[in-house]
Amino acid sequence: MKPLSEASKTTPSPQDQLLRFLLLALVLVMFFTSLELMGDSFKLMGGGLAESLLKMTSNPFVGLFIGILATSLVQSSSTTTTLTVSLVAAGALDIAGAIPIVMGANIGTSVTNTIVSLGSVTRKEEFRRAMAGATVQDFFNFLAVAVLFPLELMFQVVSTPAAYFTESLTNLGGTQLLSPVKQITEPIAGFLIAATGESGILVLLAGLGLLFLSLRFLVKLLKSLVLGRSERMLHDYIFGHPVVSMLFGVGLTFLVQSSSITTSLTVPLVGAGILTVTQIYPFVLGANVGTTMTAILAALVLSSSGAPGSVEALQGIAAVKVALAHLFFNVYGIALFLPIDQLRRIPIRLAEKLGDWAVTNRAYAIGYIAAVFFAIPLLTILSTRNLEMSYDPPKPERLEQMAPASAPTSEVEAERLTPVKG
């Protein structure tokens, strides 16, 4: 643990601490609302585009980049993966098209972190640290996809265990959990969206304004609150051990149902110099796992609808398989890039190098966001959409034995509902 500053030796009064916590709560509401507004702005400007993209999967490679682009547009992997499993459950998307999308969603969700790091762009050292803290998740996701996507296409390493475990889960049903954060921020965001006349551009500007303002205060408040005992608690307990940090990331993300929120919280902590990239790395990996729970819950709900053996039930089973594939993808990624020291250091070093590089010219950071999350995926989709690739992931046993859930709803329903003549 790094030595505490001299300021940390002065313990503020209980009244001062209470006031700071109240201010922190207010600033966090501003911060979360800004994230909500940015996501809503892209939905207003491109939500329909994101849904259209999810239905365009002509091959696994296109599906992967559609997942990146669609998630970058809505800034929420939970939204993309839940929409994906819903499309699978509706018969509008098959398993082979959905699994690459959820892999791409892992990359696209980290765009929010990188945008948050821009809140420190005017302060050189803070921006260097914040950029590194924001992009360590990017590089982990890039590396996980680079390794696991080819292995999935060749050997179905992700989809095979997902198909096996689907059988034991589909009879459980599911429940929709309410995100406590969204219960607070959605009404505020809704009011601001209505005040702007539901203009996507104005909502985006309002979100960015709140983001920069909240981050400015958040860094100062976090510095004052985590000095002394609070800083020692962060270093010794929450972020002191990789396993604890990872589990904390899983649990917190499961509670708020948004990895964008939980991982974005670490960016100002790193920017302020309170935590290091190495310390938050296991936490963001845990957040990747925690965010898969939203789609799993949604898929379980969908799988519990319809009579056993019906088209709806079968398509729900396929949705559970896709949601579990997202979970196994993240678990495999953690198994590859967390326990082994040499591999663990790769995404950390790449993120720190990018932070150094971005500080030399702030425009590089904006160019990185525009290229990685929008331009490259869009160009790849357009240039490879006619490419033919064979990919047939294994299906759960009940889908193999009965009607395929991959058939479009309209065709299956038409066959099922056509009256028998004679």
**Predicted confidence (pLDDT) per residue in 238-280, tens digit:** 888 899 999 999 988 887 767 887 898 899 999 999 899 999 9
| pLDDT at residue number 289 | 95
pLDDT tens figures, 139-166: 999 999 999 999 999 999 999 999 888 8
| pLDDT at residue number 164 | 87
pLDDT band at 308 (very low <50, low <70, confident <90, very high): low
pLDDT band at 408 (very low <50, low <70, confident <90, very high): very low
Assigned domain for 185 exists: yes
| pLDDT at residue number 27 | 86
Helix ranges, 196-340 (H): 200-225, 229-233, 242-256, 259-271, 277-290, 292-303, 311-337
Assigned domain for 14 exists: no
Assigned domain for 105 exists: yes
Domain extent at residue 360: 25-404
Query: What mean pLDDT value characterizes the chain?
Result: 81
Assigned domain for 55 exists: yes
| pLDDT at residue number 226 | 55
Assigned domain for 6 exists: no
SS (H, E, C) 89-140: HCCCCCHHHHHHHHHHHHHHCCHHHHHHHHHHCCCHHHHHHHHHHHHHHHHH
pLDDT tens figures, 337-366: 999 999 999 999 999 999 999 999 989 999
| pLDDT at residue number 307 | 56
pLDDT band at 414 (very low <50, low <70, confident <90, very high): very low
Assigned domain for 65 exists: yes
| pLDDT at residue number 422 | 33
Looking at the predicted structure, is the pLDDT value of residue 176 above 50? no
Nearest to 219 by CA among 270, 154, 144: 270
Assigned domain for 5 exists: no
Assigned domain for 38 exists: yes
| Tokens at 98, concatenated | 């959905």
- Domain count within the chain: 1
